[in-house]
């Protein structure tokens, strides 16, 4: 079987891989030195588009429109770009075995890939309801969303089930973005999630109340405090009903499940140190194995700002960690050092006409400021998180670029605050002063 050797090999061809390739090109890479191996059939693209414009009935996004690095305002890296740089894109190729001691990877088709330096960028995979044995969860039209193939299946189902009924299982990122996308496509949408309010890993009850009210006004039904425990299907094996734990039964033509992600570290289990469910790295994204780096969703890394080690499943970190790893690789070749990664968490989402950004840490007391009425013409509101007398996190819906910049600065500088009532009254003007 074929064997290929590269100086630098990236396993995984998602967001982090694309940004790493651009960084290699910036710092200098010779033709034939770098390869990206991806299970997907397409060059790296901005994954966030899949749950947004990819599903719109109008103004639809399609490749090559959203290849990296357009998401952060950079030049689009088309497949030709990799060719011009002499970077090999090895697509539709799944690595099924890794031997880090022998510095080799083996694909499903049996090819061997050797490397001097490896970057693990395998990202996350979805948690499936079949993983915990939910009855009937393998029925057709029970869909998940991670990769472009999944998005294509969704688009097909949306077309086939015009004006049909959709049930969205999960109240996190996928739940909120997909409910909106399906509603925009005129489906009758019901969301189901176990918690008392949506997106509980970030939202306070006050923030969530706005989105739940806004979604309800758009005609989306929300069922909280229960989970899907089973599905029935028709004679073609297509999903027909969702059975809830509280006894209710919902009709469904399409079910979209977003019950969380899991870092794809399985290939390297037992060969590399892990922590908090991810591959453990230092502030240069070096793993416990020499010449092996890891970036993006799959890593647990030192979060200097909070003196903690964490995993982040968002695109900004995927981009920045990839750039940091490549800079570290290049610097170490030249016997130089670079600054440690000093990441300020940044998450965002968009749905309907809404758009929010969050920076920092969501711990401590909270204040809600601004106009958070779901019926407002132009809602603009936010929340600060305050810990030990300092503002450590900030959320803003409907902010302008300058306002978003201002809340980012608040989260980075952690200004002191004496009185929560004053902070509530000041709202955005507090950020503008920092
Ligand atoms: P990513 O998942 O991008 O790439 C991993 C790649 O590795 C994939 O191409 C996969 O096929 C490949 N791979 C895995 N195992 C392999 C193997 N064994 N062999 C070969 N290839 C393999 N974040 C945010 O901040 N704002 C947002 O709006 C969104 N929106 C969003 C929408 C949707 C639908 C999803 C699924 C995710 C988001 N995210 C997001 C999260 C963001 O997309 C995510 O954090 C980054 O894509 C992570 O980048 P990585 O490169 O680490 O993984
Ligand atoms: P998530 O962790 O955001 O949300 C999971 C949700 O699943 C929980 O909030 C909970 O409501 C629900 N849940 C858990 N078990 C359940 C059950 N048995 N039945 C019903 N609901 C259940 O995960 P996700 O929304 O699936 O997103 C997957 C990945 O994609 C994450 O890494 C996420 O960061 C990423 N993503 C990010 C964005 C963004 O940043 N804007 C957008 C889409 C996806």
CA distances from 194 to 55, 139, 172, 244 (A): 26, 22, 11, 10
Q: Ligand 1: does its nearest atom lie under 6 Å from the Cβ of 314?
A: yes
Residue 315 Cα to ligand 1 midpoint, Å, equals: 8
Q: Ligand 2: does its nearest atom lie under 6 Å from the Cβ of 345?
A: no
Residue 271 Cα to ligand 1 midpoint, Å, equals: 23
pLDDT of res. 117? 98
Q: Ligand 2: does its nearest atom lie under 6 Å from the Cβ of 230?
A: no
Q: Ligand 2: does its nearest atom lie under 6 Å from the Cβ of 374?
A: no
2 pLDDT band, cuts 50/70/90, is confident
308 DSSP β-pair partners: 303
Residue 44 Cα to ligand 1 midpoint, Å, equals: 10
For a substitution probing ligand 1, which of 18, 47, 285 has the most ligand atoms within 8 Å of its CB?
Answer: 47
pTM to 2 decimals?
0.98
C-alpha neighbours within 13 Å on the C-beta side of residue 69: 21
N residues, the chain: 434
pLDDT of res. 42? 98
96 Cα nearest atom in ligand 1: 18
Q: Ligand 1: does its nearest atom lie under 6 Å from the Cβ of 347?
A: yes
Cα–Cα distance for residue pair 256/141, rounded to 1 Å: 8
346 Cα nearest atom in ligand 1: 25
126 Cα nearest atom in ligand 1: 36
Residue 168 Cα to ligand 2 midpoint, Å, equals: 11
Query: What is the average pLDDT across 99-118?
Result: 98
User: Does 327 have pLDDT greater than 80?
Assistant: yes
Q: Mind listing the pLDDT tens digit for each residue in 45-101?
A: 999 999 999 999 999 999 999 999 999 999 999 999 999 999 999 999 999 999 999
Kindly list the strands in the beta sheet with 274-275, ordered across the sheet, starting from the edge strand earlier in the chain: 274-275, 278-280, 299-303, 308-311
Residue 192 Cα to ligand 1 midpoint, Å, equals: 24
- The bound ligand whose nearest atom lies closest to the alpha carbon of 46 is 1
Query: What is the average pLDDT across 34-53?
Result: 98
233 pLDDT band, cuts 50/70/90, is very high
User: Does 1 have pLDDT greater than 80?
Assistant: no
User: Does 130 have pLDDT greater than 90?
Assistant: yes
Q: Whose CA is nearest to atom 16 of ligand 2?
A: 259
User: Does 199 have pLDDT greater than 80?
Assistant: yes
Residue 314 Cα to ligand 1 midpoint, Å, equals: 9
CA distances from 418 to 27, 108, 370, 389, 424 (A): 46, 59, 20, 7, 12
Q: Ligand 1: does its nearest atom lie under 6 Å from the Cβ of 183?
A: no
Of the candidates 423, 100, 65, 129, the residue with the CA atom closest to the CA atom of residue 290: 100
Q: Ligand 1: does its nearest atom lie under 6 Å from the Cβ of 46?
A: no
Q: Mind listing the pLDDT tens digit for each residue in 368-383?
A: 999 999 999 999 999 9
The answer to whether 119 and 112 are in contact (CB under 8 A) is no
321 Cα nearest atom in ligand 1: 52
Average per-residue pLDDT in the chain?
A: 98
Of the candidates 208, 232, 234, 233, the residue with the CA atom closest to the CA atom of residue 222: 208
Q: Whose CA is nearest to atom 8 of ligand 1?
A: 14
**Quick one: three-class SS letters along 228-270?**
EEEEEECCCCEEEEEEECCCCEEECCEEEECCCEEECCHHHCC
Query: What is the average pLDDT across 402-415?
Result: 98
Coarse DSSP helix, strand, coil percentages of the chain, rounded to the nearest 5 percent = 30, 30, 40
pLDDT of res. 269? 97
Residue 16 Cα to ligand 1 midpoint, Å, equals: 8
Q: Ligand 2: does its nearest atom lie under 6 Å from the Cβ of 398?
A: no
Q: Ligand 1: does its nearest atom lie under 6 Å from the Cβ of 38?
A: yes
pLDDT of res. 382? 98
Cα–Cα distance for residue pair 19/318, rounded to 1 Å: 8
Query: What is the average pLDDT across 170-178?
Result: 98
320 pLDDT band, cuts 50/70/90, is very high
b/e per residue 398-433 (b: at least 16 CB within 10 A): bbeeebbebbbbbbeebbebeeeeebbebbbebbee
């Amino acid at each position: 079987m074929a064997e290929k050797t590269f100086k630098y090999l990236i396993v995984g061809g998602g967001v982090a891989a694309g940004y790493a390739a651009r960084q290699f090109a910036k710092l200098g890479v010779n033709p034939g030195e770098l390869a990206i191996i991806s299970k997907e059939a397409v060059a790296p693209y901005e994954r966030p588009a899949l749950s947004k414009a990819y599903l719109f009935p109008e103004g639809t996004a399609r490749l090559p429109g959203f290849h990296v690095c357009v998401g952060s305002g950079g030049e689009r890296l088309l497949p030709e770009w990799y060719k011009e740089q002499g970077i090999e894109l090895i697509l539709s190729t799944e690595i099924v075995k890794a031997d880090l001691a022998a510095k080799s990877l083996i694909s499903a088709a049996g090819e061997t890939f050797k490397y001097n330096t490896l970057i693990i960028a395998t990202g996350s995979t979805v948690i499936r309801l079949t993983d915990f044995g939910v009855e009937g969860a393998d029925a057709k039209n029970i869909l998940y969303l991670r990769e472009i193939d999944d998005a294509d299946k969704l688009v097909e189902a949306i077309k086939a089930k015009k004006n049909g009924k959709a049930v969205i299982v999960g109240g996190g990122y996928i739940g909120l973005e997909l409910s909106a996308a399906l509603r925009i496509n005129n489906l009758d949408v019901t969301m189901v999630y176990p918690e008392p309010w949506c997106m509980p890993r970030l939202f306070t009850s006050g923030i969530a109340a706005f989105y739940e009210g806004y979604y309800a006004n758009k005609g989306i039904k929300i069922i909280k405090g229960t989970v899907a425990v089973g599905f029935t299907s028709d004679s073609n094996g297509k999903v027909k009903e969702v059975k809830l734990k509280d006894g209710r039964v919902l009709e469904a033509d399409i079910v979209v499940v977003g019950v969380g992600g899991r870092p794809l570290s399985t290939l390297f289990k037992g060969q590399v140190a892990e922590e908090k469910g991810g591959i453990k790295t230092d502030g240069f994204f070096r793993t416990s194995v020499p010449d092996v780096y890891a970036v993006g969703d799959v890593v647990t890394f030192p979060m200097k700002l909070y003196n903690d080690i964490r995993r982040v499943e968002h695109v900004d970190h995927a981009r920045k960690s990839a750039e940091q790893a490549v800079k570290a690789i290049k610097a170490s070749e030249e016997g130089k050092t670079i600054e440690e990664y000093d990441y300020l968490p940044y998450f965002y989402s968009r749905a309907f006409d809404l758009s929010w950004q969050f920076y920092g840490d969501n711990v401590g007391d909270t204040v809600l400021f601004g106009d958070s009425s779901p019926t407002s013409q132009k809602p603009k509101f936010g929340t600060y998180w305050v810990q030990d007398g300092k503002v450590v996190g900030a959320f803003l819906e409907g902010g302008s670029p300058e306002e978003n910049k201002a809340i980012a600065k608040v989260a980075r500088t952690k200004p002191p605050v004496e009185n929560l009532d004053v902070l509530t009254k000041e709202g955005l003007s507090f950020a503008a002063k920092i």
